[in-house]
Amino acid sequence: MSVSTPAPGSSTPMSPAVKTPSSGTRRARPRSAGAHRTRGTVVKYAVLSLGAVAFLFPFYYMIVGSLRKTTTGDLSSAVPSGLTGSSYTAVNGAISLGRSLLNSGIMTIGVLLCTLVFGVLAGYALAQLQFRGRGTVFASLMLVQMVPFQLLTLPLYVLVVRDYGLGDNYVGMILPFAINSTAVFLFRQFFLQLPQSLFEAARLDGAGELRILWKIALPMARPAVLTAMLLTFIGPWNEFLWPFLVTKNADMQPLAVSLASFLSNLQGTVANPTGALLAGACVLAAPAVALFILFQRHFTSTDIDSGVKG
Amino acid sequence: MTNLRSAVTAPRAGTAVVGGRGPAEGAASRHRRLTTRTGALFVTPYVLFLLVVFAIPMVYTLWISVHRFYFTAPGTHADSPWVGLSNYRDVFTDPVVGRAFLNIAVFLVINVPLTVLLALVLAAALNAKIRFRAFFRAAYYLPYITASVALVAVWQFLFGSDGFVNHLLGSHAPDPSWLVNSHLAMPMIAVFVTWKQLGFFVMLYLAALQNVGKELYEAASVDGAGRIRQFFSVTVPGVRPATTLVVIYAIITGANLFSEPYLLTGGGGPDHASTSPVLLMYQKGIEQGHPDFAAALGVVLVAFVLVISLAARKLTERGN
């Protein structure tokens, strides 16, 4: 369905039904249809490839730039030559990658655990259990997804860092993201789809709700759990503003924060600053990209592919 | 949007099922009582989370915004006298605040049309029977899942004064360069964010395109509409709910903008050329120690987001 093929008034090969005689499009010269199809396909691939280059080139540049001995802005830097890992060593010396990665990992895993445990409970309750205030909780869930989170950072900063004294503390880093509302919504949607009768039967057999959730609902919810985990992962892993506010101590900073401080004021301390910066960027990007490539189809959710023709 | 709406009405259907159970009346009511308590118990941690992370901070912002508020050293206490609307007066008379909101307007004017156009074109191309679909999809999605900080590092390098793009352009390179040019700093941020988020909207449009009936294309083609005509009179109206979502999402992104102006244009660009309201909240509230001013600015920003989200929604849904 390319937009760029100028074929006014002629038959279009985009819909399968065009080929059937009853569709009435046969009156347009049948011989040119093939030509249009080829031209349309070429345009489609051209558009898609151009897009792919625009999307992938910065990543390519990031990797090549991080591996060169000297990384400058000129065009030759896009060509891999004299590759070395020295930029990785340099950035590691300036911001201690291991420690930063550990902090990013603790923050992310903390968020994942809280979201899984409390999110599954909340999602199950919202989908399958009756209780007073259920409508209100669900309405709040929807509302929360509309509130720009950054707007709350100032009062949260005052509360968490000043009042509760949780600055430079993992609990303080995790707290604002602890339960991902989108994941709760996802769990609820999934549990809603499961047949009621399944749960009723278990209830009549005297199983408690926690047991039903653990033994029946959760094993079936594996795809939802995986999607929610991937979706939740990229948030805290990539987050910058909140950990930037909460952590002043370099030993507590997650990689996004230490890399940003390297970007704004530590670059002068290494021999090949651009290379070192790009090396840090590669390390920060790698886990999310790797997870994405491994579990790609879960990222894009099932409904996108199911209805595709052809 | 349709998903959300059906999701909202769903619990009522669930209630009907439970209420309508006839035979096992005694057991059912016992279970209902049981689940009442269990359900509330299950949802308690999430409710506490919503209170602590959303409700209390929101009320607290309102409170701070009408008081003179200072940060104090731990263990010390300072009075916070009521000052009425004076923080709001400061916000409205500060020229930098006006500039920050203007910057968001520039951001939206560039980001929204560019996102809608590019995402729709790429989604339409991807929607056809095509080889390497998984590859293209992954390529478009990659920036969306990658950390802003990592991507900002690359962009700074690509668009720096001595960067790749300027070497490519030679004497046509802008002077001062992209990120330090007061006219180009904000558009650069808008383009960066468009690029970073586009994959998400390509996926959104791809899903929306599945819901556009094939018979509409057939009918249009019988009427003699060419591909371009079909695109504008079938595809574009067909994915309108997704477009509304794009606009609302862009507004929320604009309102949240912080890392990009802070890192990409070195703390807001020349003469606040790319200062965003949230960046200003950080600078005024935390760097300069005026949290009361920042809180009032936050309240104004929320009001601004609500008003233009509603207006945008009216505008994009008018055609229906």
The confidence score (pLDDT) of residue A163 equals: 84
End-to-end CA distance of chain A: give it in Å, rounded.
Answer: 13
Determine the residue of chain B that is closest to A75 in CA distance: B164
* B147:A142 CB<8 A: no
- Enumerate the residues of chain B whose CB falls inside 8 A of the CB of residue A55: 139-140, 142-143, 195, 198-199
Residue B268 region by backbone torsions, left for phi larger than 0, else alpha for psi between -120 and 50, else beta: left
Determine the residue of chain A that is closest to B136 in CA distance: A52
* B36:A54 CB<8 A: no
Out of B74, B130, B147, whose CB is closest to A284? B147
* B8:A142 CB<8 A: yes
Tell me the shortest Cα–Cα distance from B96 to chain A, in angstroms.
18
* B141:A149 CB<8 A: no
B255, B301, B236, B266: which is closest to B61 by C-alpha?
A: B301
The confidence score (pLDDT) of residue A298 equals: 65
- Enumerate the residues of chain B whose CB falls inside 8 A of the CB of residue A71: 157
- Enumerate the residues of chain A whose CB falls inside 8 A of the CB of residue B231: 1, 3
- Flag residues of chain B having pLDDT under 70: 1-35, 74-75, 318-320
The confidence score (pLDDT) of residue B27 equals: 59
Tell me the shortest Cα–Cα distance from A290 to chain B, in angstroms.
10
- Enumerate the residues of chain B whose CB falls inside 8 A of the CB of residue A118: 45-46, 49
- B199 inside 8 A of chain A by CB: yes
The confidence score (pLDDT) of residue A13 equals: 37
Helix (H, G, I), strand (E, B) or coil at B224: coil
Burial of A286 (0-12, 13-18, 19+ CB in 10 A): middle
CA–CA dist B117, B120 (Å, integer): 5
* Interface pTM, i.e. ipTM: 0.84
The confidence score (pLDDT) of residue B211 equals: 81
CA–CA dist A194, A228 (Å, integer): 17
- Enumerate the residues of chain A whose CB falls inside 8 A of the CB of residue B177: none
Out of A58, A240, A277, whose CB is closest to B158? A58
A74, A99, A90: which is closest to A262 by C-alpha?
A: A90
Out of A75, A131, A310, whose CB is closest to B167? A75
Tell me the shortest Cα–Cα distance from A62 to chain B, in angstroms.
6
Out of A2, A129, A299, whose CB is closest to B38? A129
Helix (H, G, I), strand (E, B) or coil at B82: strand
Out of B49, B126, B153, whose CB is closest to A48? B126
The confidence score (pLDDT) of residue B4 equals: 34
- B286 inside 8 A of chain A by CB: yes
Query: What is the count of residue pairs from A and B with beta carbons less than 8 Å apart?
Result: 360
* B147:A256 CB<8 A: yes
Out of A44, A51, A281, whose CB is closest to B150? A281
CA–CA dist B75, A239 (Å, integer): 30
- Enumerate the residues of chain A whose CB falls inside 8 A of the CB of residue B149: 238, 240, 256, 259-260, 263, 281, 284
- Enumerate the residues of chain A whose CB falls inside 8 A of the CB of residue B154: 58-59, 61-62, 65, 278, 281
CA–CA dist B269, B283 (Å, integer): 13
Beta bridge partners of B192: none
Which residue is it, tokens 């007066």? B89
For B304, phi and psi rounded to 5 degrees?
Answer: -60, -45
pLDDT digits (tens, 9 = 90+) for B58-85: 999 999 999 999 887 766 777 889 999 9
Residue count of chain B, please give it: 320
Out of A1, A151, A204, whose CB is closest to B128? A1
A245, A220, A108, A3: which is closest to B294 by C-alpha?
A: A245
CA–CA dist A244, B66 (Å, integer): 27
Choosing among B5, B146, B216, which should be mutated to test the A contact, i.e. which has the most A CBs within 10 A? B146
* B27:A204 CB<8 A: yes
What is the number of other CB atoms lying within 10 angstroms of the CB of residue A263? 20
Q: Walk along chain A (310 residues) and give the pLDDT tens digit of each residue.
A: 333 333 333 333 333 333 334 444 444 444 455 566 677 788 889 989 999 999 999 999 999 999 988 888 777 778 888 889 999 999 999 999 999 999 999 999 999 999 999 999 999 999 988 898 999 999 999 888 777 777 788 999 999 998 888 999 999 999 999 999 989 999 999 999 888 888 888 888 888 888 989 988 898 888 888 888 888 999 999 999 999 999 999 999 999 999 999 988 877 778 888 899 999 999 999 999 999 888 877 655 433 333 222 2
What is the number of other CB atoms lying within 10 angstroms of the CB of residue A192? 18
Determine the residue of chain A that is closest to B300 in CA distance: A151
* B17:A196 CB<8 A: yes
Determine the residue of chain B that is closest to A18 in CA distance: B218
Tell me the shortest Cα–Cα distance from B38 to chain A, in angstroms.
7
- What pTM was computed for the model? 0.85
- Enumerate the residues of chain B whose CB falls inside 8 A of the CB of residue A7: 226-227
Out of A119, A150, A300, whose CB is closest to B258? A150
* A118:B56 CB<8 A: no
* B147:A65 CB<8 A: no
* A154:B295 CB<8 A: yes
